[in-house]
Amino acid sequence: MGKEQPVHKDAYTLILEAIDTGVYRPGDRLVESELADRFGVSRTPIREALQRLETQSLLTRDGRSLIVASLDHNQLSELYVVRAELEGLAARLAARHATPEEVRVLEEMVAEDQALLGDPAALSRANRRFHKQIHLASHNRYLVQQLDLVHRSMALMATTSLAAEGRGEVALAEHDAIVRAIGNGDENRAYEALKEHISKAFVTRLKLDASA
């Protein structure tokens, strides 16, 4: 018997996760029949998912083909500006609304992620979980929705800034400072710490792109 996909994952989610995890990278062509075979679903939901992803600018046209979009310098800058503000707001609201249990989860994430240093791919996945937890701790559904859109666009980056030498250790130290501010209920410090974290990640990415 073939391996069945979990029923709760639709074609859109499956393709999005494949882009997010690097199965499909910027510039890769997506073909309906190949995607249907890979995910074990019919071509109709695949076609609908591709149309949705194109509408969200995660896919773009190359002639008659759909390819995974890439971000130019200006798009990257615009994305980081929006991300910094929204992430900062999430941290501010988390400092105001997070439960003790949510803070404890964040603290445990920072501690456990130390074991992932030296594995940029695993650290990148852990980083996404960490930020998602802060989004949820903001207790603002509309902000969470907007940040989900931003993070989908982040999947269009070919590499993670955590691959830069020494960035992993620094990023985890920054995570620790963010969590301490949230745990202390210091809204302004949480906001500034997370904005600074995103700014440093952007600088690292610019350096990576410049050396590519």
Same domain? 28 vs 81: no
* Tens-digit pLDDT profile for residues 54-109: 998 899 998 888 999 988 889 889 999 999 999 999 999 999 999 999 999 999 99
Q: How far apart are CA 147 and CA 167, in angstroms?
A: 23
Q: What's the CA gap between 212 and 208, in Å, rounded?
A: 6
Residue 6 included in any domain: no
How many structural domains comprise the chain?
2
Task: Identify whether residues 173 and 111 lie together within a single domain.
Answer: yes
**Is 166 domain-assigned?**
yes
Q: Are residues 103 and 187 in the same domain?
A: yes
- Reported as a single tens digit per residue, the pLDDT across 143-195 is 999 999 898 888 787 667 777 778 889 999 999 999 999 999 999 999 999 99
* Domain end among 19, 52, 68: 68
Domain extent for 42 = 11-68
Q: Which ranges in 98-140 belong to alpha helices (H)?
A: 100-113, 120-137
Q: Are residues 169 and 77 in the same domain?
A: yes
Does the pTM exceed 0.75?
Answer: yes
Q: Are residue 60 and residue 85 in the same domain, yes or no?
A: no
Query: Could you tell me if 77 and 62 lie in one domain?
Result: no
Q: Are residues 115 and 46 in the same domain?
A: no
